[in-house]
Amino acid sequence: MKDRPRVITIDGPAGSGKTTVARMLARRLGYGLLESGSLYRAFTWVLLREAPELLDKPEEKRIETFLRARLPELRFTLEPEGLKIFFRGKPLSGELRHPETESRVSEVAALPGVRALANGILRELVRERPAVAEGRDMGSVVFPDAPLKFFLTASPEVRARRRYLEWRARGLSVSEEEVLRRIRARDEKDASRKEAPLIIPEGAVVIDTSNLRPEEVLESILQRLARDRP
């Protein structure tokens, strides 16, 4: 373990397969899986549940103040299966992937105060154990000095198909066309926002997953990790 990097980052757009591959890599290495998306979805879910009026006309200071006040009610545990989040003692899982939460998370994550709050939590969690850090700005902003970075991508159509099948498996009623529309809208928001836009981190290895199985992507990452070890 001592000759492996403490943090390996995997960034990419929604549906690129980064969560699946990051979880597989974390299991293989015995690392924790640090998902920034889960943290932002948790913030968004709490806002929708407790203060939806704050999202009618998002104001950074009011939202940041609200979330900081709720931090004592949130608990985070870093495991190989992912970031476990509890709100008032209740574990959050499926509600974080609900389409309503997914559709609002980008505007919450775009707020500088919210990102600063989240980044502080993410960096503190890595102090507890080595991690595979997965998200949209892990290699570019949160852990810019990570020695090994990856950026996964795929066509919008492939990513929409993956997300559609995921939602359908959970019993959610949504058309594939609607999922594609949401994916493209999310891409535009993520790429154009002023605060930490979605970019390929400097020095990152880019992998197009459109025609690759998760196992093939994992193998490519493991080969690079073995090559870079001293």
* Distance separating alpha carbons of residues 177 and 205, to the nearest angstrom: 31
For the beta carbon of residue 86, count every other beta carbon within 10 angstroms.
14
Tell me which residue has tokens 């990419």. 12
DSSP 8-state code for residue 31: -
Mean pLDDT of the chain: 90
DSSP summary character for residue 226: H
Cα(1)–Cα(14) distance, rounded to whole angstroms? 30
Q: What structural domains and CATH numbers belong to the chain? A: 7-228 (3.40.50.300)
Judged against a pLDDT cut of 60, whether residue 230 lies above it is answered with no
Tokens in use for 122?
Answer: 């993410």
State how far the Cα of 225 lies from the Cα of 207, in Å rounded to an integer: 14
Rounded Cα gap, residues 66 and 32, in angstroms? 28
pLDDT over 50 at 1, yes or no = no
Helices (H) and strands (E) in the chain, counts: 8, 8
Q: How far apart are CA 195 and CA 164, in angstroms?
A: 28
pLDDT at 229: 63
Give the pLDDT score at 198.
Answer: 81
What pLDDT digit, counting tens, does each position of 32-89 carry?
Answer: 999 888 999 999 999 999 999 999 887 889 999 999 999 999 999 999 888 899 999 9
Across the beta sheet with 148-153, the strand order is: 32-35, 131-135, 7-11, 148-153, 205-208
- In this predicted model, what pLDDT tens digit does every residue of 156-215 receive, in sequence order? 999 999 888 888 888 877 888 988 998 898 888 777 777 777 889 999 999 999 999 999
**What does R_g of the chain's alpha carbons equal in angstroms?**
17
